[in-house]
Structure 1
Amino acid sequence: MDRRRFVTTSVAGIMGAGAGAEASALTGAETWSGAQLQQDGPGRQSIRAQFPRLKDEIYLNAAGGTPLGAFAEEGIRKYLDYIRLGPGDGRRAYFDEVWTGVRGRFAALVGADESEIGLVGCTKAGEQIVIDRLEALRRGGNVVTNDMHFSGSLHNYEGLRRSGLDVRVVRARDFDVALDRMAEAMDDRTALVAVSLVSNVNGRIEPVAELSRLAHERGALLFADIIQAVGAIPVDLHAMGVDVAAASSYKWLFGTHGAGFLYVRDEVQGTALPDRIFPGHVRRNYAQWVEEPEPGVGDYRYSAPSGALRYQPGHVSYLGYAAVYEALGFLEQVGGAEAVQAHSTALVARLLDGIDTDAYRALTPDPGRSTILALQPASMDGLTDRLAAANVAISVGGDMDRMIRISPAIYNSEADIDRLVEVLNG
């Protein structure tokens, strides 16, 4: 679907879905200019109107998951119509468009080839594909990671460590991990280096290009969890030297749970990351099943998929990918990850300028680049109640007992930040 058709169908569908005039704000085929997106200008208001939840709530927790947008709801509705009413009236054509286009849209966003993109239910499922297929791990190789990686992944690695795998977790100092300390943890038996490109803990950005060089020098692969990066900051997986990456879509991609993406660099497909499953369907090539067996084929006509789809065992959430397809179109319409990063980091800077620095300690190493800001309050007393009373949503607690995390997205405004500052400063 091209940009013009995306805007037309999304707005028409929003109205048809009953979301009303307040949700039908993205009109025309232009991409919003920087001036239009400033503060609470017309572009910003039309973006906000795509998210009904923002009518009643100041939502500053994109790192936890973004509210469902009207454009994504429209994709869901159109797919439901297809399975409810059948293929007529263009419904099958829309499904085909989603299915043939969603991987290409994601590939363009991360600097990859479409053949390098597969589909997974969640980020950890993509990481597990690497763990399960690396022969070097079966032969006593080790995994190097750090404790700024996703806590769910660390839980998995702790289970693997207890099962006998050599797992080396480099502990952060002051919520950052120096590159040389990661290098010290690696050796000639390192098979996998696994990190989060952007840490969900505090928005720290991992020096992945340098890490991949260190990993490759030792014959290891580099896996990057990119769920907090893709859609939030510019990502070029080729330039970064990443071997495998994965991301769910319900955060900065404005999608849904159960619809994620897997990236596997062409050069490691079927080699360093060998095939363990062989998705597809055979055609029986013998009597009873066919009138005349085809010579030279064997008993089964067999054709294994090529590209990253080889790692996908079967059906996926088509409903979810219809939402994601429209969401990726929305992200393109607002200017892509570059626009999101510029907008969100400006809001983070405004927040840092406004808070009482005696009452809040910043835990994010480089807030000028990251769309996520973590703060450690001197006291949590009454903070949760004040946030609830003001109808402000941020992440409270999370990976630490005394931490809050703020992650503004493209739909947030300076007024949202100013209200949060009032609440935080009490």
Structure 2
Amino acid sequence: MRDNARRLLTILTVILALWLVLGFWPLSIGNQVIFSLCILLAGGAALWRQRRRAVSRQRSEIVLPPEDFQGAVVLVCGDTDGLFPGRSAHGETRHGWYLRGDSAEQLPGLAQYLAAARPALVSQVSVLLAVVPEHHPSGEHLAQSLRDWRRSIVQCRTWLNGLPPVWSVFWVTPPGGQAGESRWFTITPERPGLQAQQKGQAPQSVAGWQREGSPASRLHQTLWLESILTLAENALFRPFRARQAELPPLNLCAAGICLTPVAAVANNLWQQQIAAITTLSPGNDAAPGPHPLPDLLLSSLPHRHGVSRRMRDAGLAAGVGFLFLALAMLASFINNQRLVRSVGDHLAVYHRLSGTPPTPKLQAQQRLRADSRLLDDWLRRGGAAALSAGAVSGGAADPLR
């Protein structure tokens, strides 16, 4: 439907342009033919390009949300392998639509494709930087990965009306590889400090959460959290807050930590980090399913209303119509000025003739009568007043009345 609207707009533009060339602008027959051919060729090229774009969108494996989608649209980058089962390109929940960025080079292209296909959803787009420390063999490997993703995120601002909201989540195996319910900890603008949160429950401060349940289990998880926060501060928060060459500071609007079983590489960064703090070790068993998606953080993201494709197409149509009227009035004004100069020249010739011999003066009278009939016809039909800012009154220019 949206492709048909864009094609109709292109056809309308071609018709109006031909109308201007053939009906308004004072061009010779040869120039009219040349301009008409150029307009037809340009219109045909535009229609062909729109057709190719429509076919490429149909062949694309990316499943985009509908135009009227009300939830958050999240571009997921970073360590995405555990978030999308079967390396699928998207994930859908009740509150959000997650689109996977396979690589730092592919993410700007995904943002451009989304902005072109769903312009009304651009204001709902945010970027999730997923970090799984157990997927990285060293701190330098993680730092280089984050630098690449940061540069890619900044490039997305070209198509997303500025830098989109950026947030991050760390997925880490809990102490001892416990495979119970995933535990979430969040940092959001609405609440101070780190908050513990379970599915279906209100957030509570970590201090209040520590007073509940088994003290030993809470102590282990507290040590885990402190180590994760230290790693996040050194690898992500602090570097992103500082300007890096041409890259501006990138402040995160929200952050989260999810304790859930994670498939890990041998001797990974997280094992090295935690070994210096406690004798507990993360479990090495792979997670039975995909990592839980961070829906509970979506309500903390900024949302604005965008401009729908229908509204944008209507604005383009109005702009084309306004441009046509402006050019038509300008052409009519030029034609009227040429007519006024022509009548003035005929009057000057008539007054200069003495009448001997009579033939030249009779020819001049015939020309003036033809001018008079033309001006009278314009006055009856209202053509000059309707089409031109330089309306002409024929009565004052006719000496034969």
TM-score by length of 1: 0.21
- Structure exhibiting the larger radius of gyration computed from Cα positions: 2
User: Larger relative contact order (C-alpha < 8 A, sep ≥ 6)?
Assistant: 1
TM-score by length of 2: 0.22
Which one has the bigger helix percentage?
2
